[in-house]
Amino acid sequence: MGTLVRVEHLTKRYASGTLAVDNVSFTIEEGETFSLLGPNGAGKTTLLSMLSGILAPTSGDAFIGEYSIRHAPLAAKRLIGVVPQEIALYPTLTARQNLAFWGGLYDLQGTTLRARIEEALEIVGLREHANERVETFSGGMKRRLNIAAGLLHQPRLLLLDEPTVGIDPQSRRRILDTVKRFNEHGMTVLYTTHYMEEAEELSHRIAIMDHGHIIALGTLDELRQLVGEHESIRITLRETADEEATRRVLAEIPSIENATLTDHHITALVPNAAAALPAIATHLSQHHIPISAIEIERPDLEAVFLHLTGRSLRD
């Protein structure tokens, strides 16, 4: 065991002038599942694209094993499997034929290729659909096949870019379980997501990204500690609640230091939840804002992001 990925001052400025990744440094240990968590536009895809050799960095460097992505890009790439956001499959070919095509690109042939295809299909749970054409697959099945393609050459590092966006809950569950199992096979995973629940469930460590920067990095417990002595109150509003009016009312409640409202859920950070709760409930009810549930929670990553930025991950 040792360090597999070293990212050093990696920076990308697009020709448009956008500084998408700004002087980012971190390491990933062999066998670790490391998540990059951040809202849309934080720079996650840009960072992954540099690591996988699709985009050239503006400055800085990264090392996969001993290989620099700038100076030994081919050697670095051989250690990486990439599962991009965009599905890259031939719809008229079967699952097995698609994998044979991808395996060919990695110079796999014959019995080795056949064995790797079966193994990859097994890992993502698609063996019984191996001979079906991809055009008949659901979005989730296509995504799983894409993951299988990234596994064929047995990479040491798997890069997964928001692999559960826009797919059904069953496939999502399956993908999360698959990623968890990768560790048992000694695979190192870099996983990007804007879903805090996924980062919490999968990761050994999490880097929170915002506006091209890593604003916090650590285990879930270490990140929770950043919220300090604050407690997190989660209030679920009824569907009929007016969100604009709720925002105005929240801003008037003195005990709330920070609050976000998304999809009828309020997350509020307060110094003492038990003391603050009655006043918050009274205030909302006086302004006719209907509540369906209130819970006091341990700070989650949403609360950490709120504490650090004053915004919601999903804003």
Ligand X SMILES: Nc1ncnc2c1ncn2[C@@H]1O[C@H](COP(=O)(O)OP(=O)(O)OP(=O)(O)O)[C@@H](O)[C@H]1O
- Chain contacts with ligand X (rule: CB under 6 A): 14, 16, 18, 20, 38, 40-46, 162, 194
| Shortest Cβ 7–ligand X spacing (Å) | 15
| Shortest Cβ 163–ligand X spacing (Å) | 12
| Shortest Cβ 207–ligand X spacing (Å) | 12
| Shortest Cβ 11–ligand X spacing (Å) | 12
| Shortest Cβ 263–ligand X spacing (Å) | 18
| Shortest Cβ 206–ligand X spacing (Å) | 14
| Shortest Cβ 88–ligand X spacing (Å) | 16
Strand order in the sheet with 258-262: 258-262, 265-270, 231-237, 291-297
Cα separation of 248 and 79, whole Å?
52
Q: Which of 113, 140, 117 is nearest to 127 (CA)?
A: 117
Q: Which two tokens stand for residue 183?
A: 């560790």
Residue with tokens 């002087």: 23
Residue (80 or 207) nearer to ligand X, CB:
207
Q: Which of 303, 224, 218, 308 is nearest to 269 (CA)?
A: 303
Residue (12 or 129) nearer to ligand X, CB:
12
Residue (194 or 224) nearer to ligand X, CB:
194
Residue (43 or 81) nearer to ligand X, CB:
43
Residue (36 or 99) nearer to ligand X, CB:
36
Residue (17 or 110) nearer to ligand X, CB:
17
Residue (46 or 98) nearer to ligand X, CB:
46
Cα separation of 174 and 190, whole Å?
18
Residue (80 or 100) nearer to ligand X, CB:
80
- Do 21 and 43 contact (CB within 8 A), yes or no? yes
- Do 83 and 179 contact (CB within 8 A), yes or no? no
Residue (40 or 109) nearer to ligand X, CB:
40
| Shortest Cβ 18–ligand X spacing (Å) | 4
Cα separation of 287 and 289, whole Å?
6
| Shortest Cβ 165–ligand X spacing (Å) | 8
